[in-house]
Amino acid sequence: MTRKGFPRPSEMEYPPELQGWEEMYPPYYLFSPERAQWEDRQFWYHDKIHAPDPMYPWDLIFHEAWQISLSQYNTRVFCIPPAQGVAQRMVGCYMFICAVEPPPPELIQKKAELFQKRVFYVFEHFDELYEEWLKKFRALGNSVEELVIPKELPGFEPDGVVFPAPRGYFTSFEIMDAYDRLVNSVIKGWQYHFEYLNLSYLGYLMFADTCRKLFPGISESTIGKLVAGAVVTMYRPEEELCKLARLASTMPSVKKVLGSEDPPAAKIQALSQSMEGREWLRHLEEVKRPWFYASCGSGWFHYEGSWINRMEVPFGYLKSYVERLDKGERIERYLEDIEKERERMAQEYRNLISNEDDRKAFEDAYRTCRTIYRYAEDHLFWVEHWFHTIVFEKMWDLAALLKRYHMLEDSDDLFLFNRFEVPMILEDMVTAYALGEGVPARASFWKEKASKRRAILKAARNWSPPPALGTVPEEIAEPFTVMLWGVTSEKVDEWLKAGTISPEEVTEVKGFASSAGMVEGKARVIKLLEEITSLEPGEILVCPTTNPSWAPVFTKIKAVVTDIGGLTSHAAIVCREYGLPAVTGVGIATGVIRTGDLIRVNGDKGVVSLLERA
């Protein structure tokens, strides 16, 4: 029974400027007549958390990978009984997703048996399992890092690959092979990514449920605070910067260089001139891998960059850390205080429970959830940051090669091709190379395609898809859909409303109530980390997402609003630590709010009100 109505996928129409968008993505990503009956029956919504903007075809690879991986853990591996997978479709360059309708009832019982057997095992052995996981994941990342992308196509293969015996495969194959391995590693890495994530989320939802039964009014941000750990791998990059800053503050010459306005390369050059400087650089080199493999954004998009290739970011922070140390300020997070506060809160909630059985159940629910929840926090650095940084580095190497041989106008045009098309461009290039001197490739074909696609993406940015399509289900069992995307009956109502108003008319946006408190202030919309210098003290930061790369910003601002991220996202955790209100996972904040707008952030309710337009 449906009482809420969205357009049917089979009836979607697109503006003429988008013409040709379909060919940018794999064919099974499109709504299709032969699947219309099934597709119209499901509920599709724009994934504003991971793909708020029109998708670059290559960047879709991570989504392709998670569609398979997330889903199979629900359906085939850990068998969350009434849940199926999360399907994806492209809607005029925007990515829509859907929690697939439940399986037939007879399957639920069978899945429940498997769930019990497999999932309880994981919870019981999580500590050892996580160690194994990290080992194999790091091995995978290292193997990608070892892939060799030639810088050029040599005029002649060197003697080294001919004598004493010909190697048998050469640069042409090496390039194609490296790309194939890269792609397979991405898919595999994302298989690993979800190994314990579905269960971490389920554990969290179970504990949140338990809390709400005992304390109906408990806020999401409080539950988040009870569950979140203080020692999380995602903070390591920042912690390493703090250590480097402390070291520098004992080395006057290093301190002077770090405090200057010079670009990173000049700083490194200057440091290498002194004993002290070289000593400091040695420490820097030691921690760069892996801790500077931190994305400047979410890690999902090729244009975000990471510390390792945007060294002005960590050097900028070092400068401010050194200055703060000079003033006698503490730069590190108060880890013990955070742990103590969490323990105090847990203890107090326990004491508020008057029934003995309830208290025991609460304690065990808390313990069970905490056993595994660190996975939800720790995998993030390793997958979205470290691993994606390595992957993008290799892609940029390939892009440079293709540009060098005039297959592309600009390096970043490579990401306008999907992962199945890139091998064709590579093969076209190496074929012409193999054929000998003076043999043309179809360079202009690719260049034209790229420029057409660039125009389509631009048009797509000026077009808004409906917030949702298809049939609203009565119930959803899929844990990510509930916890991460927050699909609730209120959200659906909001989408129904949103379809009818333009961004200028929006007076209120909603997200997760991630950190309590309410403030008003001027908004500063920052889409890329480079723009952070424009931030004035006392402003409210509005940005796509934050991660430890943004950490030093939090001492300057009044509140944070993000498009991406839930209750345990970086912004949420740091804001709770600093006592700043935060609303996260708004999805459209950077699209609707403009710098200078007067806004009110209500971190208790997860509401951002636009009070006065700039």
Partner 1 sequence: MEWIVWFDQLGKEQVSLVGGKNASLGELMRAGIPVPPGFALTTHAYRRFLQEAGIEEKIRDLLNRMDPEAPASIEEASQKIRGLMERASISMEVEDDIGEAYRRLSRMCQVPALPVAVRSSATAEDLSEASFAGQQDTFLWIRGMDELLSHIKRCWSSLFSARAIGYRARMGFPHEGISISVGIQKMVNSWNAGVMFTLDPATGDPSRIVIDANWGFGESVVSGECTPDQFVVDKVTMQIVARTISRKHCYFTTDPETQSVLKVPIPEERQENQCMLDEDVVNLARIGRAVEAHYGRPMDIEWAIDKDLMAPGNVLILQSRPETVWSQRKTGPLLGKKSGFDLLMERAMKPFRVQD
CB of 12 to partner 1, least distance (A): 22
CB of 384 to partner 1, least distance (A): 26
- Cis peptide bond N-terminal to 164, omega within 30: yes
How far is the C-alpha of 592 from the C-alpha of 571, rounded, in Å? 19
Q: Are 407 and 431 in contact (CB under 8 A)?
A: no
Return the number of the residue (7 or 423) whose C-beta is nearest partner 1. Answer: 7
CB of 2 to partner 1, least distance (A): 8
Return the number of the residue (369 or 601) whose C-beta is nearest partner 1. Answer: 369
CB of 223 to partner 1, least distance (A): 11
Return the number of the residue (423 or 517) whose C-beta is nearest partner 1. Answer: 517
Q: Are 41 and 6 in contact (CB under 8 A)?
A: no
CB of 45 to partner 1, least distance (A): 11
DSSP single-letter state for residue 5: B
Which residues lie below 8 Å from residue 418, measured CB to CB, with a gap of 6+? 24, 25, 26, 57, 58, 60, 61
Residues engaged in binding partner 1 (CB under 8 A):
1-4, 80-83, 102, 108, 112, 115-116, 119-120, 123, 202-203, 205-206, 209-210, 213-219, 222, 225, 345, 348-349, 352-355, 357-358, 360-362, 364-369, 472-477, 482, 487-489, 492, 516-517, 604-605
Q: Are 564 and 50 in contact (CB under 8 A)?
A: yes
Q: Element (H or E) spanning 335, and its range?
A: helix 335-352
CB of 529 to partner 1, least distance (A): 30
The CA-CA-CA angle for residues 106, 112, 116, to 5°, reads: 165
* DSSP SS3 for 542: strand
Return the number of the residue (514 or 547) whose C-beta is nearest partner 1. Answer: 514
Return the number of the residue (300 or 362) whose C-beta is nearest partner 1. Answer: 362
Token pair for residue 314? 């960590």
* DSSP SS3 for 97: strand
Q: Are 74 and 85 in contact (CB under 8 A)?
A: yes
How far is the C-alpha of 504 from the C-alpha of 591, rounded, in Å? 10
Return the number of the residue (361 or 400) whose C-beta is nearest partner 1. Answer: 361
CB of 374 to partner 1, least distance (A): 16
CB of 203 to partner 1, least distance (A): 7
Is the four-CA dihedral 395, 400, 403, 404 of positive or negative sign? negative
Return the number of the residue (116 or 444) whose C-beta is nearest partner 1. Answer: 116
Return the number of the residue (153 or 218) whose C-beta is nearest partner 1. Answer: 218
Return the number of the residue (258 or 482) whose C-beta is nearest partner 1. Answer: 482
The torsion defined by the Cα of 320, 321, 322 and 325, in degrees rounded to 10, comes to 120
Return the number of the residue (60 or 559) whose C-beta is nearest partner 1. Answer: 559
CB of 434 to partner 1, least distance (A): 55
Q: Are 599 and 540 in contact (CB under 8 A)?
A: yes
Return the number of the residue (516 or 573) whose C-beta is nearest partner 1. Answer: 516
CB of 600 to partner 1, least distance (A): 12
How far is the C-alpha of 286 from the C-alpha of 294, rounded, in Å? 15
Q: Which of 156, 115, 84, 92 has its CA nearest to residue 436?
A: 156
Place of tokens 């199979």: 72
The backbone torsions φ and ψ at residue 186, rounded to the nearest 5 degrees and listed phi first, read -60, -45
How far is the C-alpha of 559 from the C-alpha of 519, rounded, in Å? 7
CB of 219 to partner 1, least distance (A): 5
Single-letter amino acid, residue 244 = L
The torsion defined by the Cα of 128, 132, 135 and 136, in degrees rounded to 10, comes to -170
Return the number of the residue (285 or 475) whose C-beta is nearest partner 1. Answer: 475
Task: Report the phi/psi class of residue 490: left, alpha or beta, with left for phi > 0 and alpha for psi in -120 to 50.
Answer: alpha
| Strand 512-515 with 518-525, pairing | unpaired
Using a 10 angstrom Cβ sphere, with 0-12 exposed, 13-18 middle and 19 or more buried, the burial of residue 536 is exposed
CB of 606 to partner 1, least distance (A): 12
Q: Which of 234, 577, 573, 186 has its CA nearest to residue 381?
A: 234
CB of 575 to partner 1, least distance (A): 13
Return the number of the residue (272 or 355) whose C-beta is nearest partner 1. Answer: 355
